[in-house]
Amino acid sequence: MRLLTLRIRGFRNLADASLAIPREGMVLVGANGHGKTNLLEAVSYPVLLRSFRGAPDGDLVTHAQGRFDLEATLAGARAEQVSVQYTARGRQKRVEVDGAEERTVTAAMGRWLAVVFLPGDVGLAGGPASERRRYLDRMLSLSDPAYLRALLRYRAALAQRNAALRQRHPEMAQAFERILAEHGALLVRHRLHWVDTVGAAFAEEAATLGERASIGLRYTGRPALAEPGEWPAAFAASESTDRVRGSTSVGPHRDDVELSLEGRSLRVYGSTGQLRSAAVAFKLLELETLRRAHGTEPALVLDDVFAELDDTRQERLALRLAGSGRQLFITAPRRSELPGALELPCWRMEAGHAEPDGSG
Alpha carbon separation from 265 to 40, 221, 259, 268, 328 (Å, rounded): 33, 16, 6, 5, 32
**Cα end-to-end distance, the chain, whole Å:** 23
DSSP states of 89-135: TTTEEEEEETTEEPSSSGGGTTSS-EEEE-GGGGHHHHS-HHHHHHH
Q: Are residues 26 and 81 in the same domain?
A: yes
Of the candidates 213, 295, 244, the residue with the CA atom closest to the CA atom of residue 1:
295
Task: Return d(Cα 310, Cα 302) in angstroms, integer.
Answer: 17
- For 98-136, the pLDDT digits (tens) are 999 998 888 888 888 999 999 889 999 999 999 999 999
Domain that holds residue 232: 119-295
49: CATH: 3.40.50.300
Note if the pTM is more than 0.85: yes
Q: Are residues 189 and 162 in the same domain?
A: yes
Neighbouring CB atoms inside 10 A of 47's CB total 24
- For 35-64, the pLDDT digits (tens) are 999 999 999 999 999 999 999 999 999 977
Domain membership flag for residue 203: yes
Residue 220 contacts residue 257 (beta carbons within 8 Å): yes
Q: Are residues 144 and 47 in the same domain?
A: no
Domain membership flag for residue 32: yes
Domain membership flag for residue 323: no
Task: Return d(Cα 157, Cα 209) in angstroms, integer.
Answer: 41
* E strand segments, 143-294: 215-220, 256-261, 264-265
Q: Are residues 108 and 139 in the same domain?
A: no
Task: Return d(Cα 196, Cα 4) in angstroms, integer.
Answer: 36
Cβ-Cβ contacts under 8 Å for 254 (sequence gap 6 or more): 129, 221
The 8-class DSSP code of residue 247 comes to S
Q: Are residues 208 and 266 in the same domain?
A: yes
Q: Are residues 256 and 306 in the same domain?
A: no
Q: Are residues 94 and 43 in the same domain?
A: yes
Q: Are residues 287 and 168 in the same domain?
A: yes
Q: How many domains does the chain have?
A: 2
Alpha carbon separation from 244 to 18, 154, 176 (Å, rounded): 55, 22, 18
Domain membership flag for residue 172: yes
How high is the pLDDT of residue 358? 64
Residue 105 contacts residue 95 (beta carbons within 8 Å): yes
Rg over alpha carbons for the chain, rounded to the nearest Å, is 22
Along the chain (360 residues), what's the average pLDDT of each consecutive run of 10 residues?
94 96 94 93 94 93 89 84 94 93 87 90 93 96 95 98 96 97 98 95 90 90 96 96 96 96 90 88 94 92 86 87 86 85 90 81
